[in-house]
Structure 1
Amino acid sequence: MTAVLAGSARYLIGPWYAANYTHYLPDGYIDLKGTDERAVRLPAMAAVAATTALVTDTYDPRTLSAANAAVRTHNLIRTLAARHRANNTNTGNRWGGGWQTALWAYYTALAGWLFWDQLDATTRDHLVAMLVWEADRLTTGNSVHLIGTSGDQLYMTRRNGTVVTPGDSKAEEDNWSAAALSLAASMMPSHPNTARWTRRNIELLLAAAARPADLTSSASINGIRLSSWLQGTNIADDGTLENHARLHPLYMVAFDQSLYQGFVFGLANRAAPRAALHNINRTYAALVDKPFPLPGGGTSPIYRVNSAEIYYPEGNDWGTHFPFYFGNFDLLVSLTRQDQGISPSAAEWERLHNNAQLSLMSRFTDGRTYGAAEENTYYGREHRIGAMAGQTYLTLFLARNSTGNRLRWT
């Protein structure tokens, strides 16, 4: 994990930053070159990787000093926060209020929180205003809608069986939105809206992992009775889910965003909600043990025995090489003990998948992971590696440190 984080951070705050941010604008900020996902999410993910590496002494200074890396990281954080609509009246270069912007705000605020002692008062105020704005927006939703009473849905399938978004689980959107709420509650425990953020965080976590059996379950998790609050489902009873019109393993491991709540609350010395662990064991079992038909006959699980290879039962439309997506999830599952009763254990799979990740990185000298476009077609592929590495490293750091395991759930 140290090698993955150090390499990714070195690439992102080094060559990638230098190629994209060459000058300051007249107002003193760098030019984000837009307000879309490419312009905002990518530098926010880079900031997470860089801040984590810098504050944990994991940063590799062989091509850029830690001091210069800190200046660049500060530029990303302060510019992203200043350009959010909570702090910016210019409609031409502001962002916020979109279907994915809670996630971008989470990344930016997380990087800022880690770097808090190095930030000026204006940047701190901007970070708070940005995160509060996005968190408050999410508390307007109900048991069906993410925000307000229309628009984005919480579920792929409604309680009555109506498929609202065929082939498109809402699990990922729910748990990345929950991330912003968890961070707001952890950073600002005395804020007047913290109770609302905390409640909505739990609701979104449970909606993200809701399965048909939950709709009649008498269980209550963090004060929410599943059978009465849930109005639909996002995963199947066997733990699988659909996205991009297929059963998609890459979106099954997107529950990493739920498990990151352990370190978010842990940094504030608080217990994370038990809701973040809901049905993780079932989804992980589907990766390791569930057999799926092979095109030529026979069956195979998604995780191939004694191999880092991943089997995609209905294909993968994102490319061919994703070992760290799975190794990252394996480690989180292992640290949170969500692999109970599953064999081989998550720790065994983590070694296989993350050794494959290190092999990909060993092809380059600058810390990057990917080469040919078809390996991973997402334009933020290096940034996704960095953001995952930063968050999982923090989880590992909290679980294994000189003061004892600080990952707690309530």
Structure 2
Amino acid sequence: MNSPHRLSRRTLLGGSLALGTSAAFGLPASAHARARTVAAGEVVPVDRRSIGACPAADAAGRRITAILAGSARYLIGPWYAGTYRTYLPDGYIDLKGTDERAVRLPAMAAVATATALVTGVYDPATLSAANATVRTRNLIRTLAARHRANNTEAATRWGDGWQTALWAYYTALAGWLFWDELDAKARGDLAAMTAWEADRLTTGDDLYLVGRGGHQLYEKRRDGSVVTPGDSKAEEDNWSAAVLSLAAVMMPGHPHAAVWRHRNIELLVAAAACPADLTGDTTLDGIRLATWLRGTNIADDGTLDNHNILHPLYMVAFDQSLYQGFVFGLADLPAPRAALHNITRVYSALVDKEFPDPDGTRRTIYQPGSGEIHYPEGNDWGTHFPFYFGNFDLLVSLTAQDTGIDPAAATWERLHNEEQLRLMARFPDGRTYGPSGENTYYGREHRIGAMAGQAFLTLLMARNTTGNRLRFA
């Protein structure tokens, strides 16, 4: 068990705040072996001394600060204490499995708490920052050690799965932020895990996400024929892009970094591809859309479907593309322009597009003057999701992707995040949800925390006292 210790001043990010085409199968067969032996020394840590503060003096800043502080307090407090009670003989906590519940949930919690701790947002009202640091470090080092890049035990290893790129991204992001708090073993495990998952995704081409027989990049082919009915591949593409972007930024001198950077761009372009992109001469980050794209994931009107319905919750899943702004910003680099591809188109569909009701009237997804959301074909995840939209509103506002849209994203951010804070105010421990029907996902609190952490980091990059680091090439 690691002994508790306080975060040093140098670990704080803005501590004044209170509250062309990559070759298909382009890596050699030894790529994964290389990933397993990647050195922690190849990671370039965040230069915290060069990053100023984010006073978050405006109302939007105060809202996201409160959401992150409450969520992190709950996750590293009551949730952690009720989930992890003992250490295993090897010194790691027991993840109790290798599936999404066992891996993704603690990884999302680590993003929330690591962000809150290193930015000074953490609220120690019920658990000291020193003890929260120990718990956060335990999550990060255990998750990294159990990844298959570092673990040969089939019963306890995770990785190489449909969603594991996202789990690795969360773990790596938390670890990168918490680098000063990790020992050499944890650092090496994080680097190897991140490189391994990134390398796996470079085996695809302009049709497949992973390999010639792997996951498709598109719901529909160029000719309009459907590959995966009712199931846009947008979310999978942009969560896979996330680990590629982070690997390239964390390890810019790695031999595979250039391939990671380009594959990241390809997946961002594919994620938001619509039929209008298949013609014309638009080029993004060196990729000519009309000639490279082999299909589409969203409609020209900015909508998409998932679970066989037009699904607003998956429209705002483009938050993962916009988070690339802070990932690159932490290294003081511009993010690829492809991260903004068709965001305005999607956001306009949320705000302005009208959908027919059975009684003949028409309604928009965003309800005028209200924090309520209209789901034109229903919502199979539950009833209460204001922060999913408030998070996206904040990102769209900070990246200026609401040009020409009225009301602007800042208006909707207030409505949706005030509703989020009302949900949280029902509980003294920082959680958001009560009855399971409000949000049926078993990681609902963790999802709030991961979004809040990444939204706060985006705000920190955009409004930093050293200058705007939220830039796109």
User: Does the TM-score normalized on the shorter chain lie above 0.5?
Assistant: yes
Q: 1:352 maps to which residue?
A: 415
- In the TM superposition, 1:10-409 aligns within 5 A as 10-409=73-472
CA distance in 2, matches of 1:99, 1:141: 14
Q: Displacement, 1:217?
A: 2.5
- Paired residue type of 2:234: A
Instruction: Name 2:65's counterpart in structure 1.
Output: 2
CA-to-partner distance for each residue in 1:248-300, whole Å, 9 max, x for gaps?
00000000000000000000110000000000000000000000011222101
SS of 1:64's equivalent?
coil
Measure, in 2, the Cα distance between the counterparts of 1:25 and 1:118: 21
Distance, in Å, in 1 between the alignment partners of 2:444 and 2:159 is 22
CA-based RMSD: 0.5
* CA distance in 2: counterparts of 1:251 and 1:95, whole angstroms: 26
Q: Which amino acid aligns with 2:452?
A: A
- List per-residue Cα deviations over 1:149-195 (Å, max 9, x = no partner): 11211000011222010000000000000000000011011111010
Cα distance in structure 2, aligned partners of 1:148 and 1:244: 25
Please, which runs of 5 or more residues in structure 1 have no aligned partner? none
Query: Any idea what the Cα deviations from partners look like across 1:84-121, whole Å, max 9, x if unmatched?
Result: 00000000100000010000000000000000011001
Q: Distance in 1 between matches of 2:309 and 2:156?
A: 36
Equivalence for 2:39: none
Q: Distance in 1 between matches of 2:403 and 2:423?
A: 30
Question: SS of the residue aligned with 1:384?
Answer: helix
Report SS of the residue matched to 1:300. Answer: strand
Write the letter of the residue equivalent to 2:184: A
Q: Which amino acid aligns with 1:296?
A: D
Q: Give me the TM-score of the superposition, normalised by structure 2.
A: 0.86
Counterpart-to-counterpart distance in 1, 2:446 and 2:455: 14
Equivalents in 2 of 1:265, 1:217: separation in Å?
Answer: 29
Secondary structure, aligned partner of 1:383: helix
Give the residue type in structure 2 aligned to 1:57.
G
CA distance in 2 between counterparts of 1:199 and 1:99 reads: 21
- CA–CA distance in 1 between the matches of 2:359 and 2:81? 48
What is the distance in 2 between the residues matched to 1:400 and 1:223?
Answer: 29
Distance, in Å, in 1 between the alignment partners of 2:82 and 2:180 is 28
Identity of aligned residues (%): 76
Cα drift, residue 216 of structure 1: 1.1
SS of 1:123's equivalent? helix
Matched pairs, number: 410
SS of the residue corresponding to residue 332 of structure 1 reads helix
Any stretches of 5+ residues in structure 2 without a counterpart? Answer: 1-63
Q: Which runs of 4+ in 1 moved over 6 A?
A: none
* Structure 2 counterpart SS, 1:63: coil
Give me the whole-angstrom Cα distance separating, in 2, the residues matched to 1:263 and 1:166: 33
Which residue matches 2:46? none
Letter in 1 for 2:139: L
Shift of 1:31: 0.2
Give the letter aligned to residue 367 of structure 1. Answer: G
Letter in 1 for 2:274: R
